[in-house]
Chain A
């Protein structure tokens, strides 16, 4: 894998401090990246080490007895719930995303966003209005130059695109924050399908693109 998330993003993923949409993209990337998996393993060791070092908080009286009671209750529940999700590890859709979109990319319901660009928004949390944005972009199509108010992670699922930092292929992640500005262009012969997580709106550097963005709400 050539393009991986920033180390700071990996650390935040390991500590559980990333939002759900960002965490989903990072775990999708790690499924195919042994290098990041190794970094995550080391970070988890840091978490384990901090856990061992943290001061104890006193438990309730008879805490272990209460735990054993709850354990019995959970064992009874377990026998009632036996349905298990089955994931397709050979799919182009990472296992981490399959719970939300299934294992077939072509089953996504695309809507027109701009000439050569289709969009599909997938809710990842029913309680809160959190979603992931999938984009399907035609070959040679350029996304207008933009920067970000917050952070943006883009995971390529199919095809490839280039920007100022290089080429992003399937499985790669582009990790941008408010300091970066980029103008991605699809370089694969096939459509490029990618999924984006942001924690702030994109800022396009042209007036027309800004009007477009206010309608598209990316």
Chain B
């Protein structure tokens, strides 16, 4: 168990968690490899939960449950369908809904677990799939501040449209229109980046 102390403070970057690394982990499922995934994502998932109102003890607990789900479901991850971070995000999101909000006594069947084909992928979509998260990150950074804020409050702070309206002191219609504009702009920015 020597790697626990020696690696706990190791700075893990996304470069280490590349497609080959994930493929290798899917095939071998070694605890030592999972530690690299843990060291990168666990502090971020915990951070997300704390920002959503969990105290640090509960956040640590839900984060562990989330990491167990990631371990259990790793064979389901398909890089052709999206980035590893977006896959981790959906698992963290579902755990947050089921465990943190405690609004549900039964989890709903998540769309990500049903095999649904998207509309036929064109060359643009295929280009998008390559290093998508990096491109999306750049596209989000190009958003006007007001549009970025509503998206951030929704994704990071788990706020409903009503809650965002109260937080920013704007009508709910404005929240919705900023969300739509942000999405369209992000889509356009993606085209510019991938062009």
Which A residues fall within an 8 A CB radius of B? 6-8, 10-12, 14-20, 23-24, 27, 30-31, 34-35, 37-60, 62-68, 70-71, 74, 78, 87, 95-96, 98-99, 124-128, 130, 177-179
Q: How many A-B residue pairs have CB under 8 A?
A: 221
Contact of B38 with A67 in the complex, beta carbons under 8 Å: yes
Bound-state Cα–Cα, A50 to B71, Å: 22
Q: A42-B187, A65-B1, A99-B109 are in contact. Are A52 and B82 (CB under 8 A)?
A: no
Across the interface, which residues of A come within 8 angstroms of B59, CB to CB?
57
Are B111 and A96 neighbours in the complex by a CB distance under 8 Å? yes
Q: List 7 A-B contacts (CB under 8 A).
A: A12-B160, A14-B155, A34-B118, A51-B88, A54-B48, A57-B46, A65-B4
Contact B86 A96 (CB under 8 A): no
Assess whether B176 is in contact with A8, with CB atoms less than 8 Å apart: yes
Chain B residues with CB under 8 A of A55: 47
| Residue ID in chain B nearest A32 by CB atoms | B116
A-chain residues with CB within 8 Å of residue B187 when the two chains form the complex: 42
Cβ of A62 to closest chain B Cβ, rounded Å: 6
Question: Is B86 a contact partner of A48 (Cβ separation < 8 A)?
Answer: yes
Q: Is the CB of A11 within 8 A of B154?
A: yes
- Report the interface size for chain B: residues with CB under 8 A from the other chain: 88
Given contacts A7-B179, A57-B56, A67-B68, contact A45 B161 (CB under 8 A): no
Interface assignment of B105: CB less than 8 Å from any CB of chain A: yes
**How far, in Å, is B102 (CB) from chain A's closest CB?**
8
The 8 closest A-B pairs by CB, nearest first: A48-B86, A48-B85, A56-B43, A34-B119, A8-B176, A47-B89, A57-B47, A8-B179
| Contact across chains for B133 and A48 when beta carbons are under 8 A apart | yes
Contact partner of B133 among A18, A49, A179, CB < 8 A?
A49
**B125 contacts which chain A residues (CB < 8 A)?**
38
> A128, B103: Cβ atoms under 8 Å?
yes
Quick one: closest A residue to B113, CB to CB? Answer: A95
Question: What is the bound-complex CA distance between A16 and B102, given in angstroms?
Answer: 13
Complex Cα–Cα for A62 and B35 (A): 12
Do residues B14 and A52 form an inter-chain contact, with CB atoms below 8 A?
A: yes
Complex alpha-carbon distance, A23 and B110, angstroms: 9
Tell me the minimal C-beta distance from B9 to chain A in angstroms: 10
Contact B117 A177 (CB under 8 A): no
Asked if A179 and B173 sit within 8 Å, CB to CB, the answer is yes
Contact code string B59-99 (vs A, CB < 8 Å = 1, else 0): 11001110110011000000001111111111011101100
B153-179 with Cβ < 8 A to chain A: 154-156, 158-161, 172-173, 175-177, 179
Contacts of B67 in A (CB 8 A): 67
- With A27-B110, A87-B109, A125-B105 already in contact, the answer to whether A51 and B92 are too (CB < 8 A) is yes
Is the CB–CB distance between A96 and B109 below 8 Å?
yes
Chain A residue contacts of B94, Cβ below 8 A: 16
Q: Which residues of the other chain, B, contact A179 by a CB distance below 8 angstroms? A: 173
Given A23-B108, A30-B116, CB of A64 within 8 Å of CB of B8: yes
A60 with B60, Cβ < 8 A, contacts A15-B155, A47-B90 known: yes
Task: Report the nearest A residue to B49, measured CB to CB.
Answer: A57
Contacts of A87 in B (CB 8 A): 109
In the complex, A50→B139 CA distance in Å? 12
| Residues on the B chain within 8 Å of A48, using CB | 82-89, 133, 136
